[in-house]
Amino acid sequence: MTLVVQKFGGTSVADADRIRAVADHIARTRRAGDDVVVVVSAMGKATDDLLHLAEQVSRTRPGRELDMLLTSGERISMALLCMALAERGVAAASFTGSQAGIITDTIHTKARILEVKGDRLRAALAEAVVPVVAGFQGVSSTRDITTLGRGGSDTTAVALAAALGADRCEIYTDVSGVFSADPRLVPDARKLPRISFEEMLEIAATGGRVLALRSVEFARNHHVPLLVRSSFTWEPGTVITEEDPSMEQPVVSAVTHDTSQAKITLAGVADRPGIAASLFRHLADRSINVDMIVQNISHAGTTDISFTVPLDDVAASRQVAESMLEELSAAEVVTDEDVAMVSLVGAGMKTHPGVTATMFETLAAEGINIEMISTSPIRISCMVRSAVAERAVQVLHRAFELGSAHS
């Protein structure tokens, strides 16, 4: 018998109507003969509402209590979903992260899963009961309630699929799959029927918002095939799975963009060994996630070091950099928030070296200046002015013939 994990995000269970639609879908899956484990997020904007309430109550918001607060959201959605399933004659039982045996470390608000026990879920399945599990939450080794941070419900779903040996993990959301570009920017963007974990990782890392990077990594490491689908249209979605070596890979699968980064430049840095190491150690100590790093060729014994950080970390990064001006013998710190990353992702790139050249030529022909470049075996990312990012995505999408007219 097939075992499927179905995860429904906040928009999929946003109100009573949506919850009933989700229950109908789960009931259909059961009637088709599959075993199902369900993972749900909190309803719609429930989490935002709770955070707003917390802000009204106190300026001090300890992580342990934030986690206690936020984990109430999934209790509500999962209990309601179980009621709707009961009305449809589907035996179901809700389980908190703790009851499901999702054991995490003790880092509140961004805990990592240490172990998935899942005994009660297996017992429920053995009794033909559909377990409905709270996403995003677990219980720490010290028996406190924890949350898994951003994208946590996807991570819960994938972790459960791995622990229970599920045949696949279906992620239901408000988009119908992974596209060759953001359809809001590129009207003829094409839904990709199938992509590899590696491509999905690059897409998630460079601005594709469909799946959280972390859950894709987890799925790849545990060989859990993913299916991303819409819970509004229920149309076929995108399958994310191991690369199939017997098939030829598309050279480029998708164009992504990311406007959530800023560029920070330390100008006139003394070009001595160890300078960069010292800077990035200090940034890491502040838990600042540096993405791209470029160091220019040295002129007259000094160089410029530029790096990108999430917009939220600009102030802290600037502080770190400025505190090191003397140590680095640097002239000044320049921050630039009007930047965007535009990336090409494709598994076939590994064997098609011409992609970079085509990308640069396409952007040059549009008069778009490239400020920084970074590459992986299956990705090329260029930093451009944020004002031209949308146009860059559109011309690259056309140049690589990714639209539905070419499928």
Min. distance of Cβ 345 from a copy of itself in angstroms? 40
Give 120 or 222: the residue with its C-beta nearer to a copy of itself.
120
Give 23 or 395: the residue with its C-beta nearer to a copy of itself.
23
Give 58 or 287: the residue with its C-beta nearer to a copy of itself.
58
Footprint of a copy of itself (CB under 8 A): 16, 19-20, 50, 53-54, 56-62, 64-66, 68-69, 71-73, 75-76, 78-80, 82-84, 86-87, 93-94, 96, 98-99, 120, 143, 145
Min. distance of Cβ 42 from a copy of itself in angstroms? 10
Contact partners, residue 72, CB within 8 Å, separation at least 6: 50
Min. distance of Cβ 95 from a copy of itself in angstroms? 9
Q: Please return the burial class of 291, using the count of CB atoms within 10 Å of its CB with bins 0-12, 13-18 and 19+.
A: middle
Q: Which of 223, 192, 220, 187 is nearest to 208 (CA)?
A: 192
Min. distance of Cβ 144 from a copy of itself in angstroms? 8
**Cα dihedral value 326, 330, 335, 336, nearest 10:** -170
Q: Please return the burial class of 285, using the count of CB atoms within 10 Å of its CB with bins 0-12, 13-18 and 19+.
A: exposed
Give 9 or 177: the residue with its C-beta nearer to a copy of itself.
9
Min. distance of Cβ 51 from a copy of itself in angstroms? 11
Contact partners, residue 379, CB within 8 Å, separation at least 6: 202, 206, 343, 344, 345, 346, 349
Distance CA 31, CA 27 (A): 6
Q: Would you say 76 and 43 are in contact if contact means Cβ atoms under 8 Å apart?
A: yes
Q: Please return the burial class of 26, using the count of CB atoms within 10 Å of its CB with bins 0-12, 13-18 and 19+.
A: buried
Min. distance of Cβ 106 from a copy of itself in angstroms? 13
Give 66 or 294: the residue with its C-beta nearer to a copy of itself.
66
Give 78 or 226: the residue with its C-beta nearer to a copy of itself.
78
Distance CA 121, CA 75 (A): 16
Give 96 or 374: the residue with its C-beta nearer to a copy of itself.
96
Min. distance of Cβ 207 from a copy of itself in angstroms? 33
Q: Would you say 400 and 225 are in contact if contact means Cβ atoms under 8 Å apart?
A: no
Give the C-alpha distances (Å, rounded to integers) separating 332 from 299, 310, 322, 339: 16, 20, 8, 19
Residue bearing tokens 């950080």: 309
Beta bridge partners of 310: 261
Min. distance of Cβ 40 from a copy of itself in angstroms? 12
Give 39 or 392: the residue with its C-beta nearer to a copy of itself.
39
